[in-house]
Amino acid sequence: MKADIGWSGLSVSLVLVAVAVALSRWRQLGLERSILWAASRALVQLLAVGVALDLVLDPGRTLAWSWLWVAAMLAIAATVVRWRAREVPGIFPLSLAAFGAAAFVSLGVLFGLGVFELDGRTLIPLAGLMLGNSMAATILVSRRVLEELRDKRTEVEARLALGQTSTEAARPYLRAALRTALIPQIETTKAVGLVVLPGAMTGLILAGAEPLDAVRVQAAVMYLVLGAVATTTAVVAIGVSRRMFTADHRLDWRLVGTDRPAERA
């Protein structure tokens, strides 16, 4: 394989870390320790993942191990979202459900319709790409829904007061939040190949695949990501907005706050 650099190759590439350290020292950035820490931490993390993947992807193992790996990634992704969007109520179970739904839809299409052969070597990287790309959008959309409904509280209540259900009253604000979360993903999809060569394709080319083969995989991966982002953001946005209302179609003051302009007058 063209990309097999061996341990010696890896050691030589450390020279580039030394370059970064030297630059930091020369310009007195005080970042030497951080650079060294980041570089060694990344190496340890990747080695650990590599060893674990080696075990899981061993031809003798059942696919169950790979699915278990995917489940663990799902739980970790949901934990990251909970940590990054702490202010959003019930975000952990919601993002877990959203990632689950996205995995079901996107992996279902890719494997169910035979785009990729179902195997640990395809399942784990594809699930990882899907989750990694959906996390940021999930965090963004959950915060946006919360902010939109808080900021536009008087408008939402005016809609409720006209007899709209909470679903109807929330619709324009959900739409705004979903557009905000999806547009960057659409822009990235548009610019792909023009600015940066995306990861999966780069990896395949480095590993010796023909560029056109690599492009086909990359395109499928991009559509996977687009579908997954759309699914996760929709599930999370609807879930968060439902939580903001009570069963009798009122905004839940515990989530939107208690101070009301009318009472300050």
- Per-residue binding letters, 34-73, with other proteins (x by CB under 8 A): ----------------------------------------
Within 8 A by CB and 6+ apart from 141, the residues are 177, 178, 180, 181, 233, 236, 237, 240
Report the residue number, 102 or 145, with the smaller CB distance to other proteins: 145
CA separation for the pair 181, 44 (Å, rounded) = 33
Q: Which residues from 113-172 bind other proteins, rule CB under 8 A?
A: 154-155, 157-165, 172
Longest dimension (CA), the chain: 74
Q: Does 250 bind other proteins (CB under 8 A)?
A: yes
- Beta-bridge mates of residue 251: 245
We find the least distance from the C-beta atom of residue 98 to other proteins, in angstroms, to be: 28
CA separation for the pair 81, 61 (Å, rounded) = 31
3-state secondary structure of 248: coil
Q: Which residues from 171-200 bind other proteins, rule CB under 8 A?
A: 172
Nearest 5°: phi and psi at 193? 85, -30
Q: Does 253 bind other proteins (CB under 8 A)?
A: yes
We find the least distance from the C-beta atom of residue 177 to other proteins, in angstroms, to be: 15
Q: Which position among 15, 113, 194, 265 is part of the footprint of other proteins (CB under 8 A)? A: 265
Using alpha carbons, select from 64, 95, 58, 90 the residue that is nearest to residue 79. Answer: 95
Q: Does 246 bind other proteins (CB under 8 A)?
A: yes
We find the least distance from the C-beta atom of residue 264 to other proteins, in angstroms, to be: 7
Report the residue number, 212 or 265, with the smaller CB distance to other proteins: 265
Report the residue number, 194 or 262, with the smaller CB distance to other proteins: 262
Q: How many residues sit close enough to other proteins to count as binding (CB under 8 A)?
A: 25
Within 8 A by CB and 6+ apart from 9, the residues are none
Report the chain's C-alpha Rg in angstroms.
23
- Per-residue binding letters, 205-234, with other proteins (x by CB under 8 A): ------------------------------
Please list the alpha-helical segments (H only) found in 162-210: 166-191, 199-206
Residue type at 129? L
We find the least distance from the C-beta atom of residue 251 to other proteins, in angstroms, to be: 8
Q: What does the binding site for other proteins look like in residue numbers (CB under 8 A)?
A: 154-155, 157-165, 172, 246, 248-250, 253-254, 258, 260-265
